[in-house]
Amino acid sequence: MQAPSIPKNESERLNELYDSGLLDTDKESDFDNLTNLASSIFGAPISIITLVDENRQWFKSCFGLPEEIKDTPREISFCGHAINNPSEVLVIPDARLDNVFSDNPLVSGDPNIVFYAGAPLISKNGYPLGTLCIIDFQPRNLKQQEVETLKILSSQVSKLIDLRLTNEDLRKNLKEKNVLLKEIHHRVKNNLQLVSSLLNLQANKINNEGFSNAIKSSQDRIRSMAIVHEKLYQSKYLSEVNIKSYFDALIEEKSKVTSNKDINFSLEIPNVAFTIDKVIPIGLLINEMITNSYKHAFNSSNDNTIKIQLVIKANDEGILKYEDNGTGLRQDYRVANPHSMGMDLIESFVDQLDGKLDLKSTTKGLAYTINFQW
């Protein structure tokens, strides 16, 4: 018996085979369908998709052999010979009469192979990984058209393997990308928290109350952005944030700041995901509105209520409603104070949402309604 020779590019070939992640995997219908088809087309009792590794030929899919037969040693394999001529189909009409295979234990013993034809499986980089082969227990030959048909089927198996390799590469790249994005969001959150802490230190050292309050307001805005990146870091999908979870965290943070005035928050927020370009302006809007209510609307510490509602309609229209039960705005507000910092910021954040703002003020409080596309 003549053992198959080793290809010159064996090291590269094996690397490609191992990178495919196919060896020792479970049965897959995509591969089984092709061995079933090959057996049907050629009327062959056995059809196998083999992968030739360093010491064996392993069966990824096998039609016509008992399931417990998973591989055979490489030194007695027919496919080990077939991969040495990747551009050709190896056809053995009668192995019993062939000098190379006549004393092969697979011929002289079980399963008593007589006829073999194997078309190499070529990887996207040109390496023969194994074969699609058909086996019979009686002598036969293949016409040229049948040889070409076997090549076409083996090409489909190769494309299936290439697709698996591509998917594996994509999976690895996506995993690396996700790890990187998580790290970026984590660092951005930490940096924003650091800036917030520095602003807090600066505010505590300033004797001017107006300047100190302005710095603390900036600190609040930075914290609201930091929460976004914290939620993105924790999220399964790194480009989206669950809006309900974000609102809960934002209100919890704002409650710490407004603790000297009891404020009752009523939230009606759906459990849906928003992209970061929507979440940040929405978070800054709510932060600014709560700050304005806290500073200007609530004169006492009793019965202060803020109601926030987010409605998502079927046409992807979002409606954000914010109401407080404070003192409202005086009637000449717009004339006397046309460019308040708070309103300028709110209008700026609404613009970032490409939204439309409606503001109503009564003796029962202030109500914002913002329509936007999400």
11-23 residue pLDDT tens: 999 998 998 888 9
Instruction: State which fold the 10-169 domain adopts.
Output: Beta-Lactamase (3.30.450)
Confidence band of 235 (pLDDT split at 50, 70, 90): low
* Nearest to 324, CA basis, from 366, 361, 363, 285: 366
User: CA angle, corner 23, sides to 21 and 27, nearest 5?
Assistant: 100
- What are the strands, taking DSSP E only, across the chain? 46-52, 56-63, 71-73, 90-92, 115-122, 128-136, 240-242, 263-268, 273-275, 304-312, 317-324, 356-362, 365-373
Q: Using CA atoms, how far apart are residues 191 and 24, in angstroms rounded to an integer?
A: 47
Confidence band of 334 (pLDDT split at 50, 70, 90): low
Model confidence pLDDT, tens digit, residues 60-106: 999 999 888 999 999 999 999 999 999 999 999 999 999 999 999 99
Superfamily grouping for domain 254-374: Histidine kinase-like ATPase, C-terminal domain (3.30.565.10)
What mean pLDDT is reported for the chain? Answer: 85
DSSP state of 295: I
Given a contact cutoff of 8 angstroms between Cβ atoms, the answer to whether 9 and 88 are in contact is: no
For residue 23, the model assigns a pLDDT of 92
Whether the CA torsion 163, 165, 169, 175 is positive or negative: it is: positive
For residue 348, the model assigns a pLDDT of 87
Task: Tell me how far the alpha carbon of residue 37 is from its chain's centroid.
Answer: 34
User: Is 189 buried (19+), middle (13-18) or exposed (0-12) by CB count in 10 A?
Assistant: buried
Does the pLDDT at position 10 exceed 60? yes
- Quote the percentage of the chain above a pLDDT of 90: 46
Q: What is the mean pLDDT of residues 104-127?
A: 94
Does the pLDDT at position 336 exceed 60? no
For residue 236, the model assigns a pLDDT of 67
Does the pLDDT at position 114 exceed 80? yes
Does the pLDDT at position 338 exceed 50? no
Confidence band of 118 (pLDDT split at 50, 70, 90): very high
- Which of 170 and 370 is assigned the larger pLDDT? 370
Q: Using CA atoms, how far apart are residues 74 and 72, in angstroms rounded to an integer?
A: 6
Domain boundaries, given as residue ranges, for the chain: 10-169, 254-374
Which residues are 83's β-sheet partners? none
Choose the most confident range, by mean pLDDT, from 68-82, 226-240, 323-337.
68-82
For residue 181, the model assigns a pLDDT of 64
Does the pLDDT at position 224 exceed 90? no
